[in-house]
Amino acid sequence: MSQFYALMSDNTVKYISLKKDVVTDIRNIFINGAARLKTAEMEEDEFSGDIMARNGENITYVKFFLPDDFNRIPDNQADMSEYDIEKDIPKSIFWYEERRFLFQVFNKRNILKRKTVLKREYGNSFSKMQENAFIIEEKVNAIYEDGKLYFQSYTSANQIFSLLDFVTEATNGEIDSFGENENLEANAGLIKNIANIKTRRLIKVLSSTTNVSTFTGKSLSTKKRLLKKYGIKAQINNEGKLILPTHNVSELNRTLEFLNEDIFRGVITNSLYKSNSKKRDL
């Protein structure tokens, strides 16, 4: 029996069934990817809160407790739901072996829909793929073993498990720079007045991404629809910029979480949840 799994946005785990003839190939992708990410010669550095990508001689780690669903691995697969490619989009896929969890970031780009994919059938002739499929990349983004989560890219690891609590806070100067983002209408002074630790950490993370420009680059109707869908109390100005709410820290943090893609809707209940947790977002 293989040890291949999907980690969902609410941190539940689903078993991915494999035919025997592909088990070894899938296993080797993860084992070899882990060997490249973390070699025996690398020194280990505990994460300092600096979110800049790090590649080189050292591997970074945080001391971490896995979510409860991982307690069912490897012996209780029968109690798990099975991954359904027709409706499930995990945030990570992973392989388990010898008390090690080898994680690969997963998102919608990994899904191959049959309506858009052609496969070669005869010679140079192509036909439409009849079933959905997903891509497994030849890499591992994070490794969990002995109570530590190892990674080199904070951004990738944070897509698997929320590492916000480990991030250093944005300084006043960094908030000033954030407020100058050409895609935002934001009063840095007011942000600093109401900001708490969470606000500063969210700004620190968001400032390292292109999420703000990606969001504001969407059509006006799409932006308004997304804000309404996720219950964000922010407005769009006449120039298409996002106006950050700066009079209530809860509303500001929620908007920053939205921009960091830390909010999702449950497939079954359609309820809002915080990504990387099971906490319902009331």
pLDDT tens column, 193-245:
999 999 999 999 899 889 999 999 999 999 999 999 889 999 999 999 999 99
pLDDT surpassing 90 at residue 86: no
Tokens 């388990």, residue located: 96
Residue 115: the pLDDT is: 59
The percent of residues above 70 in pLDDT, for the chain, comes to 85
Q: How confident is the prediction for the chain on average, in pLDDT?
A: 86
pLDDT surpassing 80 at residue 125: no
Compare 249 and 121 and report the one with higher pLDDT.
249
User: Which residues pair with residue 235 across a beta bridge?
Assistant: 243
Residue 126: the pLDDT is: 65
d(CA 282, CA 265): 12
98's torsion region: left (phi>0), alpha (psi -120 to 50) or beta?
left
d(CA 233, CA 154): 29
The predicted-structure confidence for 238-269, as pLDDT tens digits, reads as follows: 999 999 999 999 999 999 999 988 765 444 33
Residue 49: the pLDDT is: 83
Q: Is residue 45 within 8 Å of 61, Cβ to Cβ?
A: yes
What is the identity of the amino acid at 224?
K
d(CA 184, CA 237): 9
Residue 120: the pLDDT is: 60
Closest listed residue to residue 86, CA positions, set 184, 170, 14 = 14
Region of poorest pLDDT, from 16-30, 45-59, 168-182: 45-59
pTM of the model: 0.74
Adjacency order of strands within the sheet including 58-63: 13-15, 4-7, 92-97, 100-105, 142-145, 148-151, 58-63, 43-46
* Cα 61 from chain centroid (whole Å): 17
Q: What is the mean pLDDT of residues 24-50?
A: 92
HEC sequence for the chain = CCCEEEECCCCCEEECCCCHHHHHHHHHHHHHHHHHHCCCCCEEEECCCCCCCCCCCEEEEEECCCCHHHHHCCCCHHHCCECCCCCCCCCEEEEEECCEEEEEECCHHHEECCCCCEEEEECCEEEECCCCEECCCCCCCEEEECCEEEECCHHHHHHHCCCHHHCCCCCHHHHHHHHCCCCEECCHHHHHHHCCHHHHHHHHHHCCCCHHHHHHCCCHHHHHHHHHHCCCCCEECCCCCEECCCCCHHHHHHHHHHHCCCEEECCCCCCEEECCCCCECC
d(CA 168, CA 184): 23
The percent of residues above 90 in pLDDT, for the chain, comes to 65
